Amino acid sequence: MNQNFILKKWSVWPPLEGHEKSEESNKAKQLELLSVVPKMLKRRLSPLARIVFCAASQCIADNKNIPTVFSSTHGELAKSFAMMEMIEMGEEISPTAFSLSVHNAIAGLFSMAYKNKVQSTVVAPGEEGIAAAFIEAVGLLQEGESEVLVVLYDEPLVSFYPSAPYQLSTDNSQAVALHITKQGAGLPLSFNSLPDCGDMGEQPLQVLQLISFLSGTEKKLMINTARHSWCWNKQ
């Protein structure tokens, strides 16, 4: 498999290290980015959802009706765990709280907030990490879509779930959005698989590698998984 596409635009939230401003400035920027979200929906946004919205909204300003691929290893696990603790204490769980904890909740809220009425896919990638979202997005381009929005996101794993010795989580929440197209202006990238194996962690760690690759001067990003490797090249 060797696929080519164009990275038209990408964004990350919170801002990259070295690019961040004061905490007050970041809060002001977040309010600005979320200003288009209806107040009724904004109240339903978890901290993770706000991060996702801040990253994704910067990539769809010129075209809000765009196929989307959302990818998260753990999703709203923290919210689900909090509800389980409530159940253990004998408290009732509201249907709304439950509906906002499922894996596709953020994608659903996003489509409502930005009136994005076209196809949306949500994946839980497992050990393959970020490659799963790229496979889905490139597949959409091959099937005739001219552009796709890819959103990769995760928050720290709840401490109740010990992950060691596996690399499943990071210390901070992070979201990165990528607007990819078949052709046009932007950064040409190729994406392919290789037989080499390894273990560079799951999506939360791979996202950091992707951000470093996109913001740096390296021409190649190689991510090793237990079965094979995935490679991205700047053309």
- Domain ranges across the chain: 7-187
pLDDT for res 17: 67
Average pLDDT for the chain: 89
Share of the chain above pLDDT 70, in %: 96
pTM: 0.90
pLDDT for res 63: 65
H-assigned helices in the chain: 23-33, 39-42, 47-57, 77-88, 95-99, 105-113, 131-142, 203-215
Residue 171, CA distances (Å) to 44, 157, 158, 205 in order: 24, 8, 11, 10
What is the phi/psi pair of residue 157, to 5°?
-65, 135
Packed helices 23-33 and 47-57: angle between N→C axes, nearest 10 degrees: 70
pLDDT in tens, 185-212: 999 999 999 998 888 889 999 999 999 9
Residue 21 has pLDDT above 70, yes or no: no
Three-class secondary structure of residue 59 per DSSP: coil
CB 199 within 8 A of CB 167: yes
Architecture of domain 7-187: 3-Layer(aba) Sandwich (3.40)
Mean local confidence (pLDDT), 155-173: 81
Q: CA-CA distance, 223 to 50, in Å (whole number)? A: 28
Confidence category of residue 179, pLDDT binned at 50, 70, 90: very high
